[in-house]
Structure 1
């Protein structure tokens, strides 16, 4: 499966390549960016290459797809956004993103997420898209709520990351809700 390029007003979402590793390391090594991702900050280019390998694996396995986020005028990867844990029999997938701090609070994550969500509902024929978000990550909660997601509940000590168990809020957006929002 190939990763299609998605085009928005300000962004190009595209496959991340080995030539992007230096730019990716800039945000993946930032402890503030990585704080709610369940990963330690990356230290080396090899860490980023492992991440790129994971991106390829989820595509090859049919369990996900991750796009690199670039600004049209710059073409440099400033974050990523995409699906994981795709369950074809249940027509659902989880969505997530991360973005270089320099680009926070500019609507870039929302713009990227809208494009990825649209791709999921229209091309993957998803019925449900979900997001798992740490309770302390208020910005991401506000973002998905702005996009129409509903908080379903708290998954207590749901995930073990970085040597500890994390609580996660489950958010979801159903295709019919997404269609209704688009019609407005």
Structure 2
């Protein structure tokens, strides 16, 4: 099981042992507001999501890491590559953080670590993220880690039964 460390955090590949902690996060409607899933109501939904992440990792099509405070081992969120496209050397990141830890620089630290992994270990050239226009905090974090806004993708995705616009952000290996 792969673990990556930053100054305050450890990122470890998700496993079923994380189900309770991630359910706590994924069941909060304020956190899932900008995710393409509804707030979870049962822990087995978190287990199913983790199983999906594990199969993506085994197939080398994506991966997901829990974000934990190194000092206390408390799980505070997750992040990872929603997909990895090795033919074009690119990947898309996704992430969320427990509300209790918002505004403390944890996601910026975790995503810097994830992006370094993408460029160094996965040999990616481009890492992208898609964000809803109303998710200003996420846009701020992406800009802080070096991503550039590329434009609006109109009605790009269907989330919770509605077509939504997304803003495309990316960072290139040559930009870091």
- Answer whether TM exceeds 0.5 for this pair: yes
1:15 aligns with 2:6: no
- RMSD across aligned positions (CA): 0.9
The whole-number CA distance in structure 1 between the counterparts of 2:67 and 2:102 is 13
Point out where structure 1 has 5 or more consecutive residues left out of the alignment: 179-184
1:88 aligns with one of 86, 107, 114: 86
User: Which runs of structure 2 are paired with 1:59-138 in the superposition (5 Å)?
Assistant: 59-138=57-136
The whole-number CA distance in structure 2 between the counterparts of 1:25 and 1:74 is 19
CA contact (8 A) 2:14 2:54 kept: no
Provide the TM-score with structure 1 as the length reference: 0.93
Match of 1:165 in 2: 163
CA contact (8 A) 1:20 1:76 kept: no
Please report how far the alpha carbon of residue 100 of structure 1 lies from its aligned counterpart in structure 2 after TM superposition. 0.3
Please report how far the alpha carbon of residue 16 of structure 1 lies from its aligned counterpart in structure 2 after TM superposition. 2.1
Please report how far the alpha carbon of residue 22 of structure 1 lies from its aligned counterpart in structure 2 after TM superposition. 1.5
The whole-number CA distance in structure 1 between the counterparts of 2:129 and 2:174 is 17
Point out where structure 2 has 5 or more consecutive residues left out of the alignment: none
* Number of residues of Structure 1 aligned to a counterpart in Structure 2: 176
Provide the TM-score with structure 2 as the length reference: 0.97
The whole-number CA distance in structure 1 between the counterparts of 2:140 and 2:74 is 26
